[in-house]
C-alpha cells in the first residue's frame, strides 16, 4: 500500500470475491429497475414505492416457505402474485391522483411496509430479520438455493477451475444475470407489442390516448402491477444473497438508487438499465479500494457525493443517459 494522502490499493485487480458480490448486487438492482423503467420510462408514472414491492416479495416468499411450509418454487410464484395484487390495491386509489401526489403516496406505502416489517416480529422477525424465523423453525429458506448453487459449482465451475472459496457466489451471479437478461428481453418484446405502444401514447399524452378509446387508468394499473412483480423477483435474489433480510434492506434510498440507474442508463431503454446498474455499483463499491484519510462514515458519504456529481454532469451534458433518446424524455402530467 502506498502511504500517500490518496492512494489506490491494487488488490482490487484480484479481489474476485468482492467483484462477484458487486456483480450480484448490480444484477439484483437491474431487475429492480426494470420495473421502474416500465413505469417511468414507458408509462410516465413516477413510482417511489419500488423498494416496498421488493420487501413484500422477499418477506412473502420466506414466510410461505418457513412458516406455511409451501414448496420452494410454489412460494416464489405466489410471492409474485401477492406482490402484484398489492400493487393493484395500492394503484387503484393512488393512480387517480395527480402525478406528484401519486409519487408521495407510493413512498408512503413503501415506508408503511417497512414499519410493518419492523413491528410484526412474529411474522417477519422484526429488527432481527428473517434469520430468526428460520432458526426457530429449523427450516432454512436458502437450502433449495444451496442445492442449485452446489450443482452449478460441481458441474460447471469445478471443471474449469473456478470452484474455490473466492468464487462461491459465482453461481448466484450467473443465475441473477441470466434472469436479468431474460426479463430484459421479455420486457423489450412486451413494450414493442401493441400494449407497449399504448403505454408510450399514455406517456406522451394521456388525453389523446383516452380520446382514442384507451382505458388509461387500466393500462397504468397494469404497468404498476408488472413493476411490482419485478420488484418481488429482485426481492428473492436479495434474500438468496443475504440469506436473511430485515427492514433496513428496503429503505427509500434503494428506490432512489434505482432512479440513479435510470438516469445513468437512459430512459425508455431496458439495455440501459443493465449498463447503468453496472456503472453505479462499480463506482459505489470501487471507492472502497481508495486509501483515504477519512473515517468510514465520511468515506461512505464521499462515495454518494461522487455518484451525485456524475449524475449532475450527465444531466448537464447528456440528460438522456448513456443509451437513452431525447425524444423519449417525456413524462405525463
Domain coordinates of the chain in residue numbers? Answer: 23-250
Percent of the chain with pLDDT over 70: 87
At 212 the pLDDT is 92
Q: pLDDT tens digit string along 153-212?
A: 888 888 887 776 678 888 999 999 999 999 999 999 999 999 999 999 999 999 999 999
Sole residue written with cell 398489492: 86
Task: Round to whole Å and give the CA distance between 184 and 180.
Answer: 6
Q: pLDDT tens digit string along 90-113?
A: 999 999 999 899 999 999 999 999
pLDDT band at 242, cuts 50/70/90? confident
Task: Round to whole Å and give the CA distance between 321 and 162.
Answer: 36
- Which grid cell sits at 162? 473456478
Nearest-Å Rg of the Cα atoms of the chain is 21
pTM tops 0.85 = yes
Nearest to 228 by CA among 112, 114, 103, 82: 82
Amino acid at each position: 500500500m502506498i502511504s500517500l494522502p490518496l492512494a489506490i490499493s491494487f488488490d482490487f485487480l484480484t479481489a474476485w470475491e468482492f467483484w462477484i458480490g458487486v456483480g450480484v448486487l448490480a444484477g439484483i438492482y437491474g431487475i429492480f429497475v426494470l420495473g421502474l423503467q416500465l413505469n417511468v420510462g414507458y408509462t410516465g408514472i413516477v413510482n417511489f414505492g419500488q423498494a416496498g414491492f421488493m420487501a413484500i416479495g422477499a418477506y412473502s416468499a420466506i414466510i410461505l416457505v418457513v412458516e406455511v411450509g409451501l414448496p420452494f418454487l410454489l412460494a416464489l410464484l405466489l410471492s409474485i402474485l401477492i406482490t402484484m395484487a398489492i400493487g393493484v390495491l395500492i394503484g387503484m386509489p393512488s393512480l387517480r391522483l395527480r402525478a406528484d401526489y401519486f409519487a408521495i403516496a407510493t413512498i408512503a406505502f413503501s415506508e408503511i411496509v417497512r414499519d410493518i416489517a419492523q413491528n410484526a416480529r412474529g411474522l417477519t422477525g422484526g429488527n432481527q430479520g428473517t434469520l430468526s424465523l428460520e432458526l426457530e423453525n429449523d427450516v432454512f429458506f436458502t437450502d433449495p438455493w444451496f442445492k442449485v448453487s452446489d450443482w452449478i459449482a460441481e458441474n460447471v465451475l469445478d471443471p474449469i477451475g473456478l470452484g474455490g472459496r473466492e468464487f462461491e457466489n459465482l453461481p448466484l451471479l450467473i443465475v441473477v444475470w441470466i434472469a436479468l437478461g431474460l426479463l430484459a428481453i421479455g420486457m423489450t418484446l412486451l413494450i414493442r407489442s401493441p400494449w407497449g405502444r399504448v403505454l408510450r401514447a399514455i406517456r406522451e399524452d394521456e388525453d389523446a390516448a383516452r380520446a382514442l378509446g384507451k382505458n388509461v387508468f387500466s393500462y397504468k394499473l397494469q404497468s404498476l402491477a408488472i413493476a411490482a412483480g419485478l420488484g418481488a423477483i429482485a426481492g428473492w435474489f436479495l434474500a438468496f444473497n443475504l440469506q436473511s433480510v430485515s427492514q433496513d434492506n428496503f429503505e427509500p434510498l434503494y428506490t432512489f438508487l434505482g432512479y440513479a440507474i435510470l438516469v445513468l442508463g437512459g430512459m425508455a431503454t431496458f439495455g440501459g438499465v443493465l449498463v447503468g446498474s453496472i456503472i453505479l455499483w462499480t463506482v459505489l463499491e470501487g471507492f472502497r479500494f481508495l486509501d483515504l484519510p477519512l473515517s468510514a462514515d465520511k468515506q461512505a458519504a464521499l462515495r454518494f457525493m461522487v455518484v451525485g456529481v456524475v449524475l449532475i454532469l450527465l444531466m448537464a451534458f447528456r440528460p438522456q443517459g448513456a443509451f437513452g433518446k431525447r425524444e423519449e424524455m417525456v413524462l405525463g402530467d
